[in-house]
Amino acid sequence: MAWLRKLVGTVLVLGVAGAAAGWLLSAPVKLDADTLAQLGPGDAARGKRIFYAGGCTSCHAKPGSQGDARLQLVGGLELKTPFGTFVPPNISQDAKDGIGAWTVGDLANAMLKGVSPSGEHFYPAFPYASYARMKPSDIADLYAFLKTLPAVAGKAPDNSLAFPFNIRRGIGLWKRLYLSDQPVIALPDVTPEPVLAGRYLVEGPGHCGECHTPRDFAGGTKKSQWLAGAVAAEGSGVVPNITSGEGGIGGWSASDIANYLETGFTPEFDSVGGAMVDVQRNMAELTPDDRAAIAAYLKAIPPHPNGYPARKSAN
């Protein structure tokens, strides 16, 4: 039976080694000193643009809010997904229930690395997999703008997730697969500046790929089908294909796209609907140059057929 004892011992040693490796590989990683040094003092006026490009109100405003109430970022929206229900937190300036006590470095670590001030992983329902492509200086500007918004007391409910999704540590392994600060679409060196600007807005703060790109079994975006449309994370609907491929928006001109982002009307004079209502409302707050840049990028990216099973989609 000596061989059996050796076998059991080997299995135990390998199990302990594997667990130790998994623990190390899943550890939260914060920003280095060089990146933190790029944050700068921040400018609230510039930060307002980043705030709307990032769609902060879409998830963090109280559901149903209108007008100035959309700037009361108390959280509470329920995002029901196959992994469980995620609830965006209070990110108002309340020091106890919100993020009023956060430093600019805390916000940068949250948005670029998905790590909380206490050193825990955030779930990627918070779209830091896209925000990771943002410039540190834009994070500083956003921080300055957030400081101008009201403090609102009230803690949002906790997420409701079943095992194993309720184990945050495992997100560290997910990040190793899907978290990158590199652009999704490689563009030639001679690419016009508006297309490059649009890539930054779409792939970074705008996080368009989080909804418009199909996901794999682990919830990561399939970059080979970038912006090809996807089954909606909630409900039974779909999110449209916004490439020029079959089923997409190839028939739209760049000016059609920019006009849609500003007014909410398609070239066929249909109007924006569903979750895109809030997104379009945010896009309307950007500059005409920003919307034109987004349109230029969408016309420049590779076309793909619809990234979801054939079914009726809604804008």
Cβ 128 vs Cβ 27: under 8 Å: no
User: Under a CB-based contact definition with an 8 Å cutoff, are residues 221 and 129 in contact?
Assistant: yes
Task: Give the torsion sign (CA, 64, 65, 66, 71).
Answer: negative
pLDDT at position 7: 52
Can you give the chain as a three-state secondary structure string? Answer: CHHHHHHHHHHHHHHHHHHHHHHHHCCCCCCCHHHHHCCCCCCHHHHHHHHHHCCHHHHHCCCCCCHHHHHCCCCCCCEEECCEEECCCCCCCCCCCCCCCCCHHHHHHHHHHCECCCCCECCCCCCHHHHCCCCHHHHHHHHHHHCCCCCCCCCCCCCEECCCCCCHHHHHHHHHHHCCCCCCCCCCCCCCHHHHHHHHHHHCCCCCHHHHCCECCCCCECHHHCCCCEECCCCCCEECCCCCCCCCCCCCCHHHHHHHHHHCECCCCCECCCCHHHHHHHHCCCCHHHHHHHHHHHHHCCCCCCCCCCCCCCC
Tokens of 42: 């921040």
Residue spans per domain, the chain: 32-181, 183-315
The overall pTM is greater than 0.85: yes
The answer to whether 211 touches 275, Cβ cutoff 8 Å, is: yes
Cβ contact 114:128 at 8 Å? yes
267 CB neighbour count, 10 Å cutoff: 14
pLDDT value for 81: 82
158 contacts 83 by C-beta, under 8 angstroms: no
Structure confidence by residue, pLDDT tens digits, 207-262: 999 999 999 988 899 999 999 999 887 656 789 999 999 889 999 999 999 999 99
Task: List all residues 6 or more positions away from 271 whose beta carbon is below 8 Å from its beta carbon.
Answer: 264, 265
Instruction: Give the pLDDT score at 23.
Output: 47
Tell me what pLDDT residue 16 has.
47
Residue 45, amino acid = A
Predicted pLDDT at 257: 96
φ and ψ at 289, to 5 degrees? -65, -40
Q: For the chain, which residues score pLDDT lower than 50?
A: 8, 14, 16, 19, 23, 313-315
